Amino acid sequence: MEYYQYLKALHLIFVITWFAGLFYIPRLFVYHIEAADKKEPERSILTTQLKMMTRRLWYIITWPSAILATGFALWLLVLMPFWLEQDWMLVKLGFVVLLFIYHFKCHLIFKEFQQDVIKWTSNGMRLFNEGATIILFAVIFLVILRNALDWIYGVIGIILLSVILMLGFKMYQRIRSGNPNA
């Protein structure tokens, strides 16, 4: 048990680097989408560079971080199995499942982009990027507040966060289009 805090620290480090990858890869996807609209030779140069950057981010940072964060989490649960009896932990694990779904969706998009198959708009990808943010907020509040969290207020808070993110996204779209009153 003396190494429990070390395992917890390693788990948190890899959760942070995993989220860093999940925050950045959709941004690279946005750049890739926008590069596809450029004229040659700019399109080819940018696309080649972006493919290399996403491949390195995905396979050198994001996937290893996801695996290590999960491995350390499982190790912690083996050491402290009573956490699985806590309601907040079960809800947190539900959000972790959502995070893995998000991760796997990013992987599918990554594979498509590596083959120059682009099915997204840049605005759609910017919106998709907020999924990891919502999951991060939910998990952090669950871990910090634990049993003090009123589930109804927590759900309302996540919905409000989503609405605020959507409104911010819409404002960004208007500013970017050059028509702030649209």
Residue 57 CA to residue 110 CA, distance in Å, equals 11
Query: Is the peptide bond prior to 41 cis by the omega test (within 30 degrees of 0)?
Result: yes
DSSP state of 39: P
Please tell me whether 92 is known to bind a ligand. Answer: yes
Please tell me whether 103 is known to bind a ligand. Answer: no
Nearest to 142 by CA among 105, 81, 82, 96: 96
Residue 122 CA to residue 25 CA, distance in Å, equals 13
Residue 157 buriedness (CB in 10 A; 0-12 / 13-18 / 19+): middle
Residue 19 CA to residue 103 CA, distance in Å, equals 10
The distance between the two most distant Cα atoms of the chain, rounded to a whole number of Å, is 60
Other Cβ atoms within 10 Å of 126 Cβ, number: 19
Are the C-beta atoms of 32 and 119 separated by less than 8 Å? no
Binding residue ranges: 11, 92
Binding-site residues for heme? 11, 92
